[in-house]
Each structure stands twice: as structure tokens, then as C-alpha cells.
Amino acid sequence: MNIPKQVIYIIEQLEKNGFEGFIVGGCVRDYLLGFEPKDFDITTDAMPQDIKNMFEHTIDTGIEHGTVTVVIDKQNFEVTTYRIDGEYKDNRRPETVIFSKKIDEDLSRRDFTMNAIAYSISKGFVDPFCGRDDIESKLIKGVGDADKRFKEDALRMMRGVRFSAQLGFDIEEKTFVAIKEDAKLIENISIERTRDEFLKLIKSDYIEKLNLLQETKLYKYFIPEIEPIFTNYKKNIFILKKVSKDLRLAYLLSHLDEQTGEDILKRLKLDNKTIKEIKTILKYFNYNFIDDRTETRKIMSVIEPDLFKKILEIKFCISLVENDLIQCKKYDNIYDEIDETIRKNHCFSLKTLAITGNDLKEIGIANGKQIGDSLKMALNIVLEQPDKNNKQFLLKYIGENI
């Protein structure tokens, strides 16, 4: 394992002071899968104060739960004392935490066997739940009693489905049954946490695993509106695989009107930029775009070009899966027309119009509505004839036709 020198140093310091130290969880799993870990969690039998005494620069990240952040070379590494979780009353977090001296007890509270593996250079693997075997078998399996794990933290159900979609793994039968039985508990989790797992899921390589949300009924408790996607599922999966990953959510909602889509996105507490973008996609999703340069520039005057391209991409992928090559060609041509308009620096919005409101005031047009109408008139001419985007021509034309 290519473990960063800072992590090795932390574990060596723990061992020099008579304690154990292991990397644990996702980083070990990723190594075993052949991925480069993004971050490293370290677990130890040292108490939080022992950790603070051992290292020069520490931060009390979550000291009440045993977590101290050790800062080395301006990088943060979380070091957490072995612990046993107390009673869970809200399907989210334990009421109490009891520190432990046994690594096996710490691993026993984790969600899935593939995440319940610890490793150190001096002691090798600690794998009491056979997580390495499950990784080899491409199986997601709850640690111990899966039902108990999900009742402790209901988000683990969404994590299980998300891991399945990211890794292409199957969910072990008893674990899957427990998800189906406990699915409603996902309502007890904040929508932000559930949403984040859902977005990771739909951007995963194995998007066909989306049907696990239907089979477990999990989707009904946070986004029931995607139910139509499970009709003609095979076709919809083909389309989802073709479109860019950041457009998959828009496609999942593409059967809805813009207002309903906006309501869902707000319920999911997505950022304003995403809401605005998907709302626009839904608004124009069923619009019959025409393969005509003038018409394309007119659409560009109301839809930002990059977003226009995204709408065309979705419609192209649908036509491709439906083997409608005529429509594919049309969307290809419109896409090229957008690029040509930008490449030739043709005007398609008031921002790039050769005249402004101040120019109109100088020729005696002072009324605000008249200024607005005049600018729209000028833009319509330029959209039809790009070479007419000339200040002298436009002012003369407006003066003669107002």
C-alpha cells in the first residue's frame, strides 16, 4: 500500500508510545479495490488526550466522540479512539460513546464488512468480519446484524445502494431484506444527507443499479416523483448511460413540468444554480427545436448557449436510443449552429447588441418602455441578419420605425 509518509509517521508515533494505530474504513477498502484513497482515517486505542500530548499541532474536531485531527505538513488527519456506540434513538447518531481498547469492538460498529477492515504495516490486516472475502466476491454485506446497523443509522441503507452503483457489487441477501424492511426509516435522516447519497448514486458508473431504489422502495420516502423512470426501465437506463453524468438528474425529472421540478429540487435543498438550470431544461425539454440558423440564434437569446447544448445532448441521446437518426442529425446540426454563432461572434443577446439604452436616449428616446421595445426590435433584426449588428444602421432603422 502506498501510504502517505505523514500517516505512517502518526501510526509509528502511536506505537512508540505503547499504543496501537491502524488505517481503517474507506481508505483500506479503496486500496483493496485498486483505487487511490482520497483521505485516511486512523484509529487507535490511545485516548484523545494521549493523542493531543503526542503531536505538536492538533485540533479538537470531535473530541467528545474520540476524534482528534492531527496536522502535519499543513494536512489534516483524523485520529479516533476505538469506541463502542451507545443506544441509537433517532436512527442517526448514538446517545453515548464508550471508548474501547479493542480494535475488533470498534470495527463491529461499522456499516459494511468491506468498510470494517483495519491495516497497519507492523500488524497487517485486522478483518474480523471477512471484508476482504466480500470485496473479492463483490458483495456488500452488513456487519453482524444488518437490521441493527440500519436502525442505528438509516443513511447506511442509501450508502449500501450507492456503493452498489459505484462498484457494481451486489447486496447480500439478508442485508437487502433488511433495507426493504427498514426503508421508511430514511425519513428520519436529513434530506441533505439522503440527497448527497442519491446524487452520488445517479452519477455512478453502474447506473443500472438505480432499480435497487425501486426494489427496496427507498425512493418513495424522498423522491417518489421519479417512479415513471422504472417504466420501460431498460430504455431509460440506456439513455442515462448516454447522457453526461451531471445531466442525469435533469433526465430523471424530464417528465415533469418546470414548477413541479422546481418544487422537488427545493425540497432536496439543492443550490440555486442547479435549480435554475434544471428548471430551464424542463421548461424547454418538449420544445420542438428547428434546424435553422436564425431560429437557433433566437433560442440562444433566451437560453444560455451551454445550457442549450445540454438540452440538445439529452434530446440527442433519447433519439439515439430510439434509433431516430433523423432527429439525431437535426440536434447535431443545431449544436453546430450554436458553435458557429459563437465562433463568428454573431450577436444573439442584448449584451452583444451594437447599441445600448444610452444610445437610444441620445436620439431622443427617453421612455423606458420605448427603449426596451426598441432594443428588442434591434435584436430581432440582428438575429435574422447578423451583419446588421451595426450601431449606425440600427439607430437609423429604429429612428425610422419607432
Please tell me the distance from the alpha carbon of residue 65 to that of residue 70, in angstroms, as a whole number. 15
Asked whether 193 and 199 are in contact (CB, 8 A), the reply is: no
Q: Can you tell me the distance from the alpha carbon of 312 to that of 305, in angstroms, rounded to the nearest whole number?
A: 10
C-alpha grid cell, residue 22: 491502524
pLDDT in tens, 81-134: 999 876 666 666 666 678 899 999 999 999 999 999 999 999 999 999 999 999
Of 73, 104, 137, the residue at which a domain comes to its end is 137
pLDDT of the residue at 402: 73
Do residues 24 and 133 share a domain? yes
Radius of gyration from C-alpha coordinates of the chain: 29
Are 133 and 8 members of one domain?
yes
> Total domain count for the chain?
4
Do residues 18 and 129 share a domain? yes
Same domain, 121 and 16: yes
Residues of the chain with pLDDT under 70: 86-96
Torsion angle (degrees, nearest 10) of CA 355, 357, 358, 362 = 90
- H or E, element range at 85: strand 83-85
Instruction: Tell me the whole-structure pTM to 2 decimals.
Output: 0.90
- Residue 91: its pLDDT value, please? 63
What CATH code is carried by the domain that includes residue 100? 3.30.460.10
Host domain of residue 367: 350-401
Do residue 240 and residue 204 come from a single domain?
no
Q: What is the pLDDT of residue 86?
A: 62
